[in-house]
Amino acid sequence: MALHIVARRPDPALVRLPWSTPLAEWSDDFVVPLPRGLSRHIVRIVRLGGRTYAIKETQEEIAFREYRLLRDLQRLGLPAVKPVGVVTGREDDRDEELPCALLTEHLAFSLPYRALFAHGMSVESLPCLIDALVVLLVRLHLADFYWGDVSLSNVLFRRSAGGFAAYLVDAETGELRPTLSRQMREYDVEVGCENVFAELLDLQAGGRLGPTVEGHEIVALIQKRYDELWSELTREEEFTADEMWRIERRIERLNELGFDVDELDIVTDFDGDRIRIQPKAVEAGHHTRELQALTGLSVEDGQACRLLNDMTSFIAHYDLGREDKAIAANRWLTEIYEPITAMVPAEARGKLEPAEIFHEILVHRWYLSERAGHEVGIFETARDYIDNVLTTKPDELVTAATDGAMLPEDDPDAAVL
């Protein structure tokens, strides 16, 4: 049987991979030893030139279905790994058929939840992890996507201004529907609660999560945060004609959550005395789009919010409020952000994304200023942070298993996808 590669953007180097060898037997000549998590399938992460791919062995029908679904999610702008292609017609040296392979782009600076705890993530950060999972689930549900297997294991996390952003990494059980019923949403949340509870127990059994963490409280937090966010994004609100300011306030609250409102459904009664509104088109990434329009930077929404706040302080400090905002933003970019990120030595640039480093420098500045009793300059803070904090962090762009990233209790043939 001839090897057949269906790819969105074909990389000629893919042909050189050892497709006639079972994925579990691929050597270190191709495989990147990134942190491993739990998966139903054998997965390997490989690097070809400047590109890194995740490859999963599965059945042909399942591979093509997931490939098409991931492409749909990309077109909808939803946070999921990018599909690359499907490889069929694999045979070993004895002409025995090998499983089909699904290829996706590896998400830079992302980690599975187990690797985050292996890197020393504190229990205090667990609610941030749950929030990221809930935001992802709500965004998928708003797009009428039924997940079917909500869990921490099916997500990759990227740091975002001290919090996290979650990306769907396994769409095998997912389904885009014309409309998503309340019952299906509730079932997704229920499955998520059950899976996360089991994953927390597993972390505790492995000694990576303290015994004081109550799984039931975390499960309750998932349901609570989901209900609150879904309500804010979709609920109807009724008020009188004298309270029109509440429309603007509703939009401001949604913007603070990182969502834009492109369309409102506004209905008045016969006399126009009472007004009912409901957001009809809600799009995530409010701060990301604003920052990108001003500076060209493309970062996570939490990071964008942090950078916009620092930009606002810069504009106020130098009394640039009367200037065109794009011009003032460019001054902040060229005088503050770019010089600060350029201070990071080459050997430390794989530890965190530039925007996350900048955020941590701002936090570090607050601690240094409090200790000194006066405001410490941003460039002095950056030097201190790089020398004393950043250099102690593990690499997250590519983390070697020999650095302790691989979890000993994990299946050596499994990686998160």
For residue 366, the Cα-to-chain-centroid distance in whole angstroms is 27
Q: With bands split at pLDDT 50, 70 and 90, how would you rate the model's confidence at 34?
A: low
Query: Does the pLDDT at position 227 exceed 90?
Result: yes
410 lies in some domain: no
pLDDT by residue (tens digit) across 282-327? 888 999 999 999 999 999 999 999 999 999 999 998 899 888 999 9
pLDDT bucket at 277, cuts 50 / 70 / 90: confident
228 and 245 housed in the same domain: no
Query: Amino acid letter at 258?
Result: G
Strand partners, 102: 56, 86
Query: Taking the model in full, what pTM does it have?
Result: 0.84
Contact 35, 115 (CB under 8 A): yes
Is 367 inside a domain boundary? yes
Does residue 379 fall inside a structural domain?
yes
Rounded CA gap, 253 and 237, in Å?
Answer: 13
C-alpha pair distances (Å), 275 with each of 247, 316, 377? 10, 38, 50
Q: Is the separation of the CB atoms in 357 and 319 below 8 Å?
A: no
Is the same domain home to 225 and 120?
A: yes
In a domain, 258, yes or no: yes
Whether 136 and 218 map to the same domain: the answer is yes
**Full DSSP string of 28-83:** TTTB--------SS-EEEEEETTEEEEEEEE-HHHHHHHHHHHHHHHHTT-SBPPE
Cβ contacts of residue 36 below 8 Å, gap of 6+?
Answer: 112, 401, 406, 407, 410, 411, 412, 414, 415, 416
**CATH number, domain at 79?**
3.30.200
How confident is the model over 105-110, as a mean pLDDT?
Answer: 88
Which element (helix H / strand E) includes 275? strand 274-284
Give the structural domain span for 45.
4-106
Helix, strand, coil shares, percent, the chain, to 5: 45, 20, 35
- 117 shares a domain with 228: yes
∠134-135-138 over CA atoms, to 5°? 85
- Whether residue 118 sits in one domain with residue 199: yes
SS3 state at 279:
strand
Q: Are residues 124 and 220 in the same domain?
A: yes
Positive/negative CA dihedral, 321, 322, 328, 329: positive
User: Per the structure, how many domains does the chain have?
Assistant: 4
Band of residue 51 on the pLDDT scale cut at 50, 70, 90: confident
Residue 146: which pLDDT band, with cuts at 50, 70 and 90? Answer: very high
Q: Are residues 275 and 253 in the same domain?
A: yes
Chain mean position to CA 349: 19
Q: What is the pLDDT of residues 339-392, one digit of tens each?
A: 999 999 999 998 999 999 999 999 999 999 999 999 999 999 999 999 999 998
- Same domain membership, residue 46 and residue 100: yes
Q: Tell me: do 133 and 209 sit in the same domain.
A: yes
pLDDT, mean over the chain? 87
pLDDT band at residue 115 using 50, 70 and 90 as cut-offs: confident
Contact 37, 153 (CB under 8 A): yes
Among 106, 125, 156, identify where a domain stops. Answer: 106
Terminal-residue alpha carbon distance, the chain: 27
